[in-house]
Copies of this chain bind each other. A is one copy, B any other.
Amino acid sequence: VPDAPWIAVVGPGRADVAQLEAAEAVGAGVAAAGAVLVCGGLGGVMEAACRGARSRRGMTVGLLPGVDRTDANGWVEVAIPTGLGEARNALVVRAADAVIAIGGAWGTLSEIGLALKTGRRVIGLGTFEITQAGRRVEGIVAVESPEEAVAEALARRAPPH
């Protein structure tokens, strides 16, 4: 575990079936590759990703916004109740070598911004497209499948720093 890559999976706490299936497949792929899955520890995309990772006996880490460890979804192996509220999003990103965003919610957008700001690779699966003055902003690597998301996250992950 100490030398494994860490991949964050971020996405809405309330997600639709397609997003949940994608998240579960991403989590399984992350674990199958021997990587640690880190997330915000709650429901929706986070829970599905953890469930997928546990189906391959992967390590799952949840960094919770509140102070109660039992808020974590049932597939989190190591739950850290940060008590930082939404500021914990910065810790999810810091813990990871690359970030996979599935679907989109405002918290997800903040994690994408923090990841790009701190030089992490961001892979997007059905997440936001961001434009400025009519031009698409570089940054998010858009992919079409969970397999592609995992491959992109692991192939080009930034070195830990």
A interface residue numbers (CB < 8 A to B) = 1-2, 6, 36, 59, 61, 63, 67-70, 72, 74, 76-87, 89-91, 94-95, 104-114, 116-118, 126-133, 137, 139, 160-161
- The residue in chain B whose Cβ has the minimal distance to the Cβ of A109 is B113
With A2-B74, A117-B110, A130-B109 as contacts: A83 and B84 at CB distance below 8 Å? yes
With A89-B90, A131-B131 as contacts: A81 and B109 at CB distance below 8 Å? no
Q: Give the complex CA separation of A81 and B110 in angstroms.
A: 19
Chain B residues with CB under 8 A of A127: 132
Q: Give the complex CA separation of A139 and B107 in angstroms.
A: 13
- Whether B104 lies near A114 (C-beta < 8 A) is no
Q: Give the complex CA separation of A95 and B66 in angstroms.
A: 11
- Which of B1, B87, B113 meets A113, CB within 8 Å? B113
Q: Give the complex CA separation of A59 and B131 in angstroms.
A: 33
With A78-B1, A90-B85 as contacts: A133 and B139 at CB distance below 8 Å? no
Question: Could you write out 30 A-B pairs with CB less than 8 Å apart?
Answer: A2-B72, A2-B76, A63-B80, A67-B85, A80-B95, A81-B94, A82-B91, A82-B94, A83-B86, A83-B87, A83-B91, A84-B84, A84-B90, A85-B90, A86-B90, A86-B114, A86-B117, A87-B90, A87-B91, A89-B90, A89-B110, A105-B117, A107-B113, A109-B109, A109-B110, A109-B130, A110-B114, A110-B117, A128-B130, A128-B131
